[in-house]
Amino acid sequence: MLRFIIRRLIITIPTILVVITITWGLIRLAPGNFYTGDKALPEAIEQNIREKYGLDRPWHEQYLRTMGQILRLDFGTSLRYEGKSVNEIIARSLPVSATVGILAYLLALIVGITVGSIAALKQNSKWDYASMTLAMLGISIPNFVLGPILVLFFSLTLYWLPPSRWDGFPSKSVILPVITLSAIYMAYIARLTRAGMLEVLRSDYIRTARSKGLSETQVVIRHALRGGLLPVVSYTGPALAFLLTGTVVVESLFVLPGLGKYFIQASLNRDEPLILGIVAFISMTLLTMNLLVDIAYGYLDPRIRQ
Amino acid sequence: MAQIYVKQAIAGVVVVALLFTAISCHMSATNEEFFGRTVPPERNTLRYVNGAEPESLDPAISSGQHEARIYMSLYEGLVEYDPKSLDAIPAIAERWDVNNDSSEFVFHLRRNARWSNGEPINAHDFVYSIRRSLTPEVESRSAGLAYPIRYAEAFNAGGVFVRDPASNQFLLEKDFAGDEPAAAALSQKSLGTNEREYEPTAAEPTPDRDTPFHQFMHSPDRLVLPGAEKARNKLLESNPRLQAAVAGKELVKARAEDVGVEPVDDYTVRISLSESVPYFTELVAHQIFRLVPRKVIEQYGAKWTDPSHIISSGAFKLKSWKPYSEVVVERNPMYWDAGSVRLDEIYFYTSTDHPATMNLYKVGAADAVLNHSVPNAWLDVVRPKKDYMDAAEATITYILINITQPPMNDLRVRRAFNISIDKINYSKARRITKPLFAFTPEAIFVGYPQPKGEGFDPEAARKLLGEAGYPVTQKSDGTYQCEKFPADEVKFAFPTHSSNRALAEFMQAQWKQNLGITVMLSNMESKTYLAARSKLDYKGFAFGSWGADYMDPTTFLNLFKTRGGDNGSGWWDQKYVDLLEEANHTIEPQKRYALLAKAEKYLLDAQPVIPIETPAVNWVKKPYVKGLYPNPACLFAWKFVYIERDASKWDYGTPSLTD
């Protein structure tokens, strides 16, 4: 197992470097610079800036310098936001994204598993049809449509919840973004649970459990759910990684100061250190999550370890 | 089974119907005087949606309007913008003297002004702050606004003077100027030789107290060469006379101490300009002239604006800054005019999403929002309300033409494209704008004899194209075609934004309809577009827009004073520059305006731009927010803003800017 983990880690590091290299190249290819603005700078000042940030050096020198800094996990200072270090920006914005992401995933798990199980246990009933219709809606309504509908109803009509902005956790401002973000995951998990449960409920060991005379609750919770949830577990890794980092749409809908917001702005601003920092961070998170899932799989299925 | 479906379908329909009924009932119920709830906040706070995230809280650095608004709460200047007219009103300078041709300004500071830590503010603080804004390493984006100050440009752009080591004399600009050197400003003539510069006032019988620095300011302009060797050599090569004169001389870098800002005594600042600038007192209200704390900057460097370090000079001081969320400022008890400040706190919310902004406003979570927050599709609902702000704005939208490439290097073609656009109908479609035929916005500069540009005349446009060698013919179905026109050579580049796309598509349709020419649209990400535009790396047309930095026509006309920078058209004409220079050396205001109008007419005739529209301001504020006026630049002196709890004193409609 240790060898397996080490082997995976060895692949992970070059993957991150390749991702950063490609990102670095793309930033260089994009026209314009971080100092390009509505008001053009005098030539002499532009020259000063280029010297200060080493932009007048040959590209390979710039590349090696940047990579050297990143390898030392020093992402530097934002070019756009005076005096703010990239690490500081990530440390400040990640908690917002993570709170929304984790809450959304918890909500998705609770609702999804409950709804999915009910649908499976009462297959072909009106409960089943109703919940699967909702799940279908959840998957097919994009969050940039769902969000405004929720805002229209709960904020602008009923005045119950704030329509946007972040007041920290816990506060009312968390509710709408979390629901909006979790809808699609909720729906997926409900469908995965239903499918998994249906398969398990038909299997022999459930029949055995029932014939042993166990109560229906015990059958469902102790036996059926365990087997039925395996697909949900394997879905958790990638889903969580995306939830932690990829809440971009919800962040701009609800004006949340999260990581996704910074990422978009950094790209528009050509803020190279910040882009590279966030890309490195997101790819590390994604790869770690994948690694964790693979390790979990390795435990579950010895064939994968080989 | 079928039954279940029917029941579900019925239930579904009922739920949806209820939802829509609730929403539509609500819509009709809110059909009131104002947009959304109008409950004043419990405390004297203002929650203002301010737009994009401020890039920095350092007033020397950023040039955005949203940043300027925050700076105006934190930093005090010599003067402040009047909340209605944007004219200069006293701030730390309680009065000022201007010499006869507006080329030298003496500001007299009040003695009771203090920093937020209680230390007194004096003339040296201003000299430091202005010099700092001009320091090349600070990379101020607005430094150009201070260039009328003597040697400010030389210092900011790293220029050098030329000194003769033998005589220790500097070479002078006038010895190398062109054929007709413009008349020098009063402040460049030596002291004592000219008529008395200042009209004496009761408070200051002798404002021009003499100092060695003042003598230096009153000596003829020194010659300034580019600091960068490459640029300097290029210039010298093109001018053999200059090259010969510079050979063997010493190059002396322009220093901060050479810039024309002088502390005459602890409470007097004298600013010497290199030309007449009648609007200079209004210009001095700009953020780059505002006070910044030397001690904190020297101690903490770029981190000086952290809430734990910052010392401010304005009516408010920084309380907290949560990036991409809010900047909170609170009342500064040390402020010289603290007694008249009525708000305890201002929350500057960050939001660039218009619907999200308007939602915050509607539910009463924001008291006022930034300009242009009301989306076009919402206008029918929001504009009739009494909290909608409707007033002229000092901004223009135009189309730049790359005149360096055929076919647009032909004036007739440029004119044809201009007069084939029905700008009046375009403005009707845009709803909050007025058509623009000249280059300066209409009805902003009082008394300015704005020249008339050409109106809509598709017939003449087709004739012009024909004269240029691209005949327009009418097809049997009544539409036009222009087969000879190289449509591949012309595109319309614009930065991604829905309203820019609407503009580009309208122009495309007009040209197709009236000239039979299809111009392809090229949609670019904002920075890509700016980079392409400044390098003239576009074919044909590019979108342009400009907001006034100060209330004078030159804030628009100066765009074409330089070849590079924000020009973007490739058009540059010495005669135009001379006209502007002449105007800037004219003392009599109406005569100066006439000269500027002549320059503007010259620009319009050369047609490097197609003027399109002047927007109107387009924002909302709750009726209980008083003292906030829809001035043409959307800059607010926050100390005048307050929350009115008595509904009879609320604003019912746009507050007047002239009362």
Tens-place pLDDT, residues B4-17: 456 656 666 666 66
In 3-state terms, what secondary structure has residue B106?
A: strand
Give residue B29's pLDDT: 46
**A-B contacts at Cβ under 8 angstroms:** 159
What does the block give as tokens for B403?
A: 């005149």
Per residue in B330-351, is it b (16+ CB within 10 Å) or e — as a string? bbbebbbbeeebbbebbbbbbb
Distance CA B92, CA B115 (A): 11
ipTM of the complex: 0.85
Residue A257 and residue B324: Cβ atoms within 8 Å? yes
Mean pLDDT, range B449-456, rounded to an integer: 92
Could you tell me whether strands B368-369 and B45-51 are parallel, antiparallel, or unpaired per DSSP bridges? parallel
- Which residues face B492 on adjacent strands? B521, B541
What's the gap in Å between the CA of B366 and the closest CA on chain A? 11
Selected for mutation to probe chain A from B500, B530, B534, B567 (highest A CB count within 10 Å) is B530
What's the gap in Å between the CA of B438 and the closest CA on chain A? 22
**Residue B45 near residue B52, CB atoms below 8 Å:** no
A126 → closest Cβ in B4, B63, B534: B4
Class of domain B93-282: alpha beta
DSSP alpha helix (H) spans, B247-368: 280-283, 294-300, 354-362
Residues B387-437: tens digit of each pLDDT: 999 998 999 999 999 999 989 999 999 999 999 999 999 998 888 889 999
What letter would DSSP give residue B109? E
| pTM, rounded to two decimals | 0.87
Torsion angle defined by CA atoms of residues A61, A62, A65 and A70, in that order, rounded to the nearest 10 degrees: -140
Q: What is the SS3 assignment for B231-256?
A: HHHHHHHHCHHHHHHHCCCEEEECCH
* Max avg pLDDT among A289-293, B198-202, B558-562: B558-562
What does the block give as tokens for B433?
A: 């704008």
What letter would DSSP give residue B657? S
Q: What is the SS3 assignment for A16-77?
A: HHHHHHHHHHHHHHCCCCCCCCCCCCCHHHHHHHHHHCCCCCCHHHHHHHHHHHHHCCCCCE
What letter would DSSP give residue B564? S
Instruction: Tell me which chain B residue has its CA closest to the CA of residue A30.
Output: B528
A48 → closest Cβ in B137, B363, B527: B137
Residues B20-50: tens digit of each pLDDT: 555 554 554 455 889 999 999 999 999 999 9
Domain segments of chain B: what residues? 8-85+291-389+623-649, 93-282, 395-615
Residue B359 and residue A257: Cβ atoms within 8 Å? no
What does the block give as tokens for B598?
A: 């002549």
pLDDT at residue A76 greater than cutoff 80? yes
Question: pLDDT higher for B628 or A259?
Answer: B628
DSSP alpha helix (H) spans, B420-538: 423-430, 458-467, 498-515, 526-534
Q: What is the SS3 assignment for B407-430?
A: CCCCHHHHHHHHHCCCHHHHHHHH
CATH of region B395-615, choose from 3.10.105.10, 3.40.50.300, 3.40.50.970, 3.40.50.2000: 3.10.105.10
Instruction: Tell me which chain B residue has its CA closest to the CA of residue A168.
Output: B325
Contacts of B475 (CB under 8 A, 6+ apart): B481
Fold of B8-85+291-389+623-649: D-Maltodextrin-Binding Protein; domain 2 (3.40.190)
Residue B322 and residue A163: Cβ atoms within 8 Å? no
Distance CA A147, CA A155 (A): 11
* A198: alpha, beta or left? (left if phi > 0; alpha if psi -120 to 50): alpha
Contacts of A32 in chain B (CB under 8 A): 527-528, 530-531
Using the structure block, give the residue that is written with the tokens 């940030």.
A53
CB neighbours of residue B3 within 10 Å:
8
Distance CA B234, CA B231 (A): 5
In 3-state terms, what secondary structure has residue B500?
A: helix
Residues B112-140: tens digit of each pLDDT: 999 999 999 999 999 999 999 999 888 88
Q: Long-range contacts of range A212-220, CB-CB < 8 Å, 24 or more positions apart? A: A220/A117, A220/A121
What's the gap in Å between the CA of B572 and the closest CA on chain A? 16
- Which residues face B160 on adjacent strands? B225, B253
Whether A50 contacts chain B with CB within 8 A: no
What's the gap in Å between the CA of B527 and the closest CA on chain A? 5
Q: How confident is the model at residue B262 (pLDDT cuts 50, 70, 90)?
A: very high
Whether A133 contacts chain B with CB within 8 A: yes
**Residue B654 near residue B630, CB atoms below 8 Å:** yes
Residue A151 and residue B349: Cβ atoms within 8 Å? no
Contacts of A153 in chain B (CB under 8 A): 19, 22-23
Using the structure block, give the residue that is written with the tokens 């979790």.
A182
- Which residues face B149 on adjacent strands? B273
A257 → closest Cβ in B26, B231, B322: B322
Could you say which residues from 362 to 391 on chain B have a Cβ atom under 8 Å away from some Cβ of chain A?
362-363, 365
B527 → closest Cβ in A48, A252, A270: A270
Give residue A224's pLDDT: 81
Residue B55 and residue A48: Cβ atoms within 8 Å? no
**Residue B591 near residue B585, CB atoms below 8 Å:** no
pLDDT at residue B71 greater than cutoff 50? yes
CB neighbours of residue A133 within 10 Å:
12
* Max avg pLDDT among A244-258, B163-177, B297-311: B297-311
Residues B550-596: tens digit of each pLDDT: 889 999 999 998 887 788 899 999 999 999 988 887 878 899 999 99
Question: 3-state DSSP helix/strand/coil percent for chain A, to nearest 5?
Answer: 75, 0, 25
Whether A208 contacts chain B with CB within 8 A: no
Whether B305 contacts chain A with CB within 8 A: yes
What's the gap in Å between the CA of A93 and the closest CA on chain B? 9
Residues A213-232: tens digit of each pLDDT: 888 888 888 778 877 787 88
DSSP alpha helix (H) spans, B48-101: 65-74
Q: How confident is the model at residue B1 (pLDDT cuts 50, 70, 90)?
A: very low
Whether A31 contacts chain B with CB within 8 A: yes
What does the block give as tokens for B367?
A: 């008291």
The candidate with the shortest Cα–Cα distance to A38, out of B71, B55, B299, is B55
Distance CA A237, CA A32 (A): 37
B141 → closest Cβ in A41, A93, A164: A41
A165 → closest Cβ in B141, B360, B532: B360
Q: How confident is the model at residue A304 (pLDDT cuts 50, 70, 90)?
A: low
**Residue B421 near residue B607, CB atoms below 8 Å:** no
Question: pLDDT higher for A159 or B189?
Answer: A159
Radius of gyration of chain B from its Cα atoms, rounded to whole angstroms: 28
Contacts of A157 in chain B (CB under 8 A): 22-23, 26
Whether A26 contacts chain B with CB within 8 A: no
Cα-Cα-Cα-Cα dihedral sign, residues B282, B640, B353, B62: positive
**Residue B249 near residue B93, CB atoms below 8 Å:** no
Give residue B203's pLDDT: 66
What letter would DSSP give residue A260? H
Question: pLDDT higher for B506 or A169?
Answer: B506
Q: How confident is the model at residue B2 (pLDDT cuts 50, 70, 90)?
A: very low
Could you say which residues from 137 to 196 on chain A have a Cβ atom under 8 Å away from some Cβ of chain B?
148, 151-153, 155-157, 159, 162-166
Taking each continuous run of H as one helix and of E as one strand, the counts in chain A are 14, 0
Distance CA A255, CA B198 (A): 54
Radius of gyration of chain A from its Cα atoms, rounded to whole angstroms: 24
Cα–Cα separations (whole angstroms), residue A22 to A15, A66, B172? 11, 13, 53
Distance CA B584, CA B101 (A): 10
Torsion angle defined by CA atoms of residues B223, B226, B231 and B237, in that order, rounded to the nearest 10 degrees: 10
Q: Which helix (H) or strand (E) holds B124?
A: helix B123-134
* B646: alpha, beta or left? (left if phi > 0; alpha if psi -120 to 50): beta
